[in-house]
Structure 1
Amino acid sequence: MKYPKIPLAQTVIQLCKAKSIKHIIISPGSRNAPLTIGFTNNPYFKCYSIVDERCAAFFALGIAQQLQEPTALVCTSGSALLNYYPAVAEAFYSDIPLIVLSADRPKHLIGIGDGQTINQQNIFENHILYSANLKLDLDEEIEVEEELPIFKNLENKLEKLLGLKQGIQDYNETEINKAVNIAFSKMGPVHINIPFDEPLYDRIDEPTVNPTTVSVEKQELKIETNILNECIRDWNAASKKMVLVGVSRPNSIEQKWLDVLAKDDSVLVFTETTSNLHHNNFFPSIDKIIAPLKDEDFKSLQPDIILTFGGLIVSKKIKAFLRKYKPQQHWHIDVKKANDTFFSLNRFIQSSPNQFLSKFLPEIQSKKSDYKKIWSSVKETRAYKHANYLSKIDFTDLKAFEIILKAIPNNTVLQLGNSSTVRYAQLFDLNKTLDVFCNRGTSGIDGSTSTAIGCAVANDKQTTLISGDLSFIYDSNALWNSYIPNNFRIIIINNQGGGIFRILPGHKNTKNFDTYFETKHQLTAKYLCKMYGFEYNYVSNESGLKNNFNSFYSLSQKPKLLEIFTPKNLNDEVLLQYFKSIS
């Protein structure tokens, strides 16, 4: 086995292996050569080469999202590191562990006009759990008097130098251990900045350092008895309780606790598409329920207590509702943080939702209330009108989503693009066997395809990505990737621009709007698919879409992409009329 000659690179690589960080996503460069040599010559690591650093970072995020363990990113110095930032921010807000390993130049080469140098230390300061700025190794062949004049008049110069070298080694080991342990324990991104001096490509057969591994300290979260008792008391006294669940991993809560919540007549459980929670008595498709409501309806729906868990909420409508009609109490359950989304948060319980519910629900009493009965009736009415409206409309985005979501195979993974894609999906009751994911930490369109591909690589289940045209084109370098499984599927809704802007306030159908908001275009994915080796097909009507799904999920020697063209001047009218029709 070959190792980089530089001890600092050996230290990073050995500690990554000791801490079971297996997936290493490398973008090519020279300054990171010592790390690349070490990782790629060690059979323990699964290494991926992805040129575009932004795509590489979201690819790594997709792997970490599925495995729930850190993946490592390796890049050269300079602007390469900046391209990681969108994915780092997403990981920060979505609690996904990433380890950024950035090669850097020595301090004396920074700020003097040398190539590929920027100020890399603490570069992700506002969106990182920890930044470790490592120190440059001292070369064993260093000329002490020339490089370290402080030793000029000291005796035992070599002994002093060796002590300094060991001090640097100890510091670097401590910082690496700390950063990686935080990524594990707090589930989020960390940055390790690693300065290397030339020569960068020298190799040796045996490592020259043996770094010490510090184990991760497991934090045991306990719910204080008095807090739990107060929650039980207040919950039992309230006749209108709402549970609102944002982004959650599949199977993160035991079904028996969901069943308890579903039986209580005083509890409404609102779930988002990304919550991965299902029960016949729950209320999915939030916007479908509340969009047509009037003031008196909102007052009737207003809860005494709202209990939230999971990640960020997609529905703007329920956020607006709960900000105006505030609950008396808002409790949030999470192991890390609580967002005061509705400006009424009064209790943050640091616990996993499953742990809290297992302590809390056995002690609650079902309360007589017509809260659920009233809103269950509303849900049934909305479902009937929803189906009736969809049976009559022309082929548009809304109709396409109805067909697509019914066609996705059972027990597969669905990755949703942001903006209009995830919002359309919110209007439908999804197949309960699907695992649903979306980058809702920052809700950006920039890495949906790369994340979905990383997910497909890490997951044994088949993955389907549904994306808008702008989101797909924006991240089209994601296809510049030799790891995409043949069963990976992409569905693009191409409405020739940013269709979501047509349903927002603004002056449509003007040159200014078309150019700067909707960003009209005539691009398609056809030639990208030809270049990157995808099977390509397109449809532009209902029958074509239904017929295409007969073969879209069949076995193939290549991944497949289906592009669905919808009428941009009709989509917004159909969607706006939808909310009127279900009221």
Structure 2
Amino acid sequence: MKQPPAVLAATAIVRALIASGVRSVVICPGSRDAPLIYAFATAADRGLCRIFSRSDERSAAFLALGLSLGADRAPVAVVTTSGTAVANLHPAMLEAAHAGVPLIAVTADRPQRLQGTGANQTTVQAGAFGPATGTVVVPCADPADIEKAVSDAVAGAVRPGDNSPAHLNCPFDDPLVPSGADGSWQDLGDRVEAGEVRPAASAPVAPRSARLTAAQSQRILRTDRTVVIAGSDAGPDAGRLARAQGWPLIREITAGFGPGPCDVPSYREAIDRFFGDGPHGRLEQVVVFGRPTLSRQASALASAPGIRLISIGQMHGGVDRFFDPARRAHLRLEGAPAGWLRDASPSARRSDWLRLWLTGAAAPRAFGASRGEHGLSGRAAVGAVVESLAPGMALVLGPSRAIRHADEAALPPGIAIHSNRGLAGIDGVVSTAIGVAHARPASDTVAVMGDVTFLHDMAGLHRSAGERPLRLSIVVLADGGGTIFRGLEHDAFAESDSRARRAVEQLLVTPPSVRVGSVATALGADYVSVDAEPQLRAAMSDRPGGLRVIEARIVS
């Protein structure tokens, strides 16, 4: 049976996406994207992809982001109708752009003849995401042209060391519903499977770094008083370099690799103790991998004047992948040269330098000592959660205090760590965690976040009927709002007078008035409340499956 042009175009789009490696799709209901919905439905019926349904486009986009993160940054598509639905994808697209995640926005649009006419739900969607990514307007006519445009766009988003989001804008004209009310429309699945779509080859990544001369390399490797910093998405070469060269390593929890012999314990305290007139005064060089975002100390160390800074980009790419806030980097490199990772014979001077950092720093904090005299502290709560993890599990961390407490903990080996550190916002953390959990159905996932972060994306708890059960526990640190501001310079300002205190509390800390338990149960999650460390440990040791929210009531 002959199908409408919009349906045929949507089928070609879906066929090309699946051929290009898209296996998970998040669909937002709408009229203009109906041709895509029907095409994806037939593809899912044939086992070609998994589909999820969400009515909140912002949550949908972060669900897709989490699905990609949990699947080692496989491309994942999010599908919307036209108009404001497209704009709601912007926060996740920005995060994907900065973190190097191949999030593919597939947005339905009104045909060109309706642009500028005042037609309903019609706006300019090309360029909607600004510098985060360009827009490919899919030529919804010839299937070969459609498939090439889609394949090229996905290939540009999935490149080793240079992942990025992509935007496919698809103008569909009426009619938008398949022909064949007798069920023959299911033959669309034959069209999705028919023929071979040759995925486009990934274009070579244009180098964004300087060429390293042999003399420069030797000068870098001969500098004994060097510190390696492994920030977000640093990648394991940061640990290999520190170990091979015998340099101290400051490793953030989102670096992408586990502990090693050169890790500086309690690195914040170490930097505070040594910086200035101590041994840091003799620091000569910093090699930073990825983007350190969890401490002002590490950022200050990398930005200090008079120090040679070598900036090595994030492992998976992304906008502003090179860390250089003071614009003083001597070199920017895409990765560490292989010769740097070969074991060196450290001099006595270098060995003393490493020993100074490893033994002269403050001892690691004992999390159990932070319980507070009258209840559960945030650090103790996060410590209890981290200690409950087993190899093979995933940990999703919200921003602010949750991830910083976890950064100070001794993480068990074999844990997959995920956190939206591209722009480090509170957007979509619940949805990201659900996406990670769906991408890892055979293992448990734990998420830790503050109460404001949880409530900001509480709509993410709402799942569509028939969705596969989760194995996800969300631990909410109910500490009365954005308490990280009480630990910054705002705390001192709040002490200046009552009006300053009121402004800080009401407009920065913003204590929530919504009950976490009411939200959780209303949206179909199991709910547990704890206010003591033994209760939290007991809750974490019990893994009943499903979606569970554990509210940890924090008093200090």
**1:191 equivalenced with 2:163 (yes/no):** no
**Partner residue of 1:113?**
118
* Cα shift readout 1:20-58 (whole Å, capped 9, x = no counterpart): 211111000000000000011122121111111111100
CA distance in 2, matches of 1:225, 1:104: 42
228, 236, 242: which one aligns with 1:253: 236
47, 50, 58: which one aligns with 2:51: 47
Q: Secondary structure at the match of 1:273?
A: coil
CA distance in 1, matches of 2:403, 2:314: 23
CA distance in 2, matches of 1:229, 1:124: 41
**Partner residue of 2:19?**
18
Q: Secondary structure at the match of 2:489?
A: coil
Task: Please report how far the alpha carbon of residue 493 of structure 1 lies from its aligned counterpart in structure 2 after TM superposition.
Answer: 0.5
AA in 2 matched with 1:50: R
Matches within 5 A, 1:351-430: 351=335, 353=336, 356=337, 358-362=338-342, 364-369=344-349, 370-379=352-361, 381-383=362-364, 390=370, 395-430=376-411
**Bigger CA drift: 400-409 or 515-524?**
400-409
**Partner residue of 2:460?**
478
CA distance in 2, matches of 1:525, 1:196: 42
Q: Which has the greater radius of gyration?
A: 1
Q: Secondary structure at the match of 2:278?
A: helix
CA distance in 2, matches of 1:229, 1:514: 55
CA distance in 2, matches of 1:211, 1:261: 47
Pair 1:131–1:367, CA change in 2 (3 A): farther
Aligned 8 A contact 1:11 1:210 in 2? no
* Cα shift readout 1:456-515 (whole Å, capped 9, x = no counterpart): 000132110001000000000110014464421010001111111111223436332222
**Bigger CA drift: 488-497 or 508-517?**
508-517
89, 94, 112: which one aligns with 2:94: 89
Aligned 8 A contact 1:125 1:131 in 2? no
AA in 2 matched with 1:24: V
Q: Secondary structure at the match of 2:236?
A: coil
Aligned 8 A contact 2:475 2:549 in 1? yes
Q: Secondary structure at the match of 1:61?
A: helix
AA in 2 matched with 1:320: A
CA distance in 2, matches of 1:468, 1:292: 30
Q: Secondary structure at the match of 2:550?
A: strand
Q: Secondary structure at the match of 1:464?
A: strand
CA distance in 2, matches of 1:60, 1:478: 12
Pair 1:469–1:361, CA change in 2 (3 A): same
Aligned 8 A contact 2:396 2:445 in 1? yes
CA distance in 2, matches of 1:245, 1:552: 30
The alignment-based identity, stated in percent, is 23
Task: Please report how far the alpha carbon of residue 220 of structure 1 lies from its aligned counterpart in structure 2 after TM superposition.
Answer: 8.2
CA distance in 1, matches of 2:454, 2:209: 47
CA distance in 2, matches of 1:13, 1:193: 13
**Bigger CA drift: 225-234 or 280-289?**
225-234
Task: Please report how far the alpha carbon of residue 404 of structure 1 lies from its aligned counterpart in structure 2 after TM superposition.
Answer: 2.6
Q: Secondary structure at the match of 2:518?
A: helix
CA distance in 2, matches of 1:447, 1:27: 16
66, 70, 76: which one aligns with 2:75: 70
User: Which runs of no fewer than 5 residues in structure 2 stay unpaired?
Assistant: 180-184
* Cα shift readout 1:208-242 (whole Å, capped 9, x = no counterpart): 99785352136489999982633541134212111
Task: Please report how far the alpha carbon of residue 561 of structure 1 lies from its aligned counterpart in structure 2 after TM superposition.
Answer: 1.4
**Partner residue of 1:525?**
516
Q: Secondary structure at the match of 1:113?
A: coil
* Cα shift readout 1:184-230 (whole Å, capped 9, x = no counterpart): 22311000100001110023536499785352136489999982633
Task: Please report how far the alpha carbon of residue 135 of structure 1 lies from its aligned counterpart in structure 2 after TM superposition.
Answer: 3.5
**Partner residue of 1:466?**
448
**Bigger CA drift: 224-233 or 471-480?**
224-233
AA in 1 matched with 2:236: I
Aligned 8 A contact 1:4 1:10 in 2? no
Task: Please report how far the alpha carbon of residue 324 of structure 1 lies from its aligned counterpart in structure 2 after TM superposition.
Answer: 2.8
**Bigger CA drift: 59-68 or 223-232?**
223-232
Aligned 8 A contact 1:25 1:48 in 2? yes
* Cα shift readout 1:247-295 (whole Å, capped 9, x = no counterpart): 238xx537xx946733654x11110011133114312543232234552
**1:503 equivalenced with 2:508 (yes/no):** no
212, 222, 239: which one aligns with 1:237: 222
**Partner residue of 2:537?**
549
**Partner residue of 1:176?**
150
User: Which runs of no fewer than 5 residues in structure 1 stay unpaired?
Assistant: 138-165, 572-583
Question: TM-score, normalising length from structure 2?
Answer: 0.86
CA-atom RMSD in angstroms: 3.0
Q: Secondary structure at the match of 2:474?
A: strand
320, 325, 331: which one aligns with 2:300: 320
**Bigger CA drift: 119-128 or 201-210?**
201-210
Question: TM-score, normalising length from structure 1?
Answer: 0.82
Q: Secondary structure at the match of 1:559?
A: strand
**Partner residue of 1:213?**
198
**Partner residue of 1:30?**
31
Task: Please report how far the alpha carbon of residue 519 of structure 1 lies from its aligned counterpart in structure 2 after TM superposition.
Answer: 0.9
CA distance in 2, matches of 1:225, 1:125: 27
CA distance in 2, matches of 1:241, 1:522: 49
CA distance in 1, matches of 2:358, 2:388: 27
Aligned 8 A contact 1:289 1:382 in 2? no
Aligned 8 A contact 1:15 1:211 in 2? no
**Partner residue of 1:562?**
550
Aligned 8 A contact 2:58 2:89 in 1? yes
* Cα shift readout 1:280-331 (whole Å, capped 9, x = no counterpart): 431254323223455212633x532222223443222211233234422424
Q: Secondary structure at the match of 1:318?
A: helix
CA distance in 1, matches of 2:367, 2:521: 38
Aligned 8 A contact 1:184 1:216 in 2? no
Aligned 8 A contact 2:105 2:167 in 1? yes
Aligned 8 A contact 1:3 1:38 in 2? no
Task: Please report how far the alpha carbon of residue 557 of structure 1 lies from its aligned counterpart in structure 2 after TM superposition.
Answer: 5.4
CA distance in 2, matches of 1:87, 1:226: 34
Pair 1:287–1:224, CA change in 2 (3 A): closer
AA in 1 matched with 2:285: I
Pair 1:511–1:135, CA change in 2 (3 A): same
Pair 1:224–1:476, CA change in 2 (3 A): closer
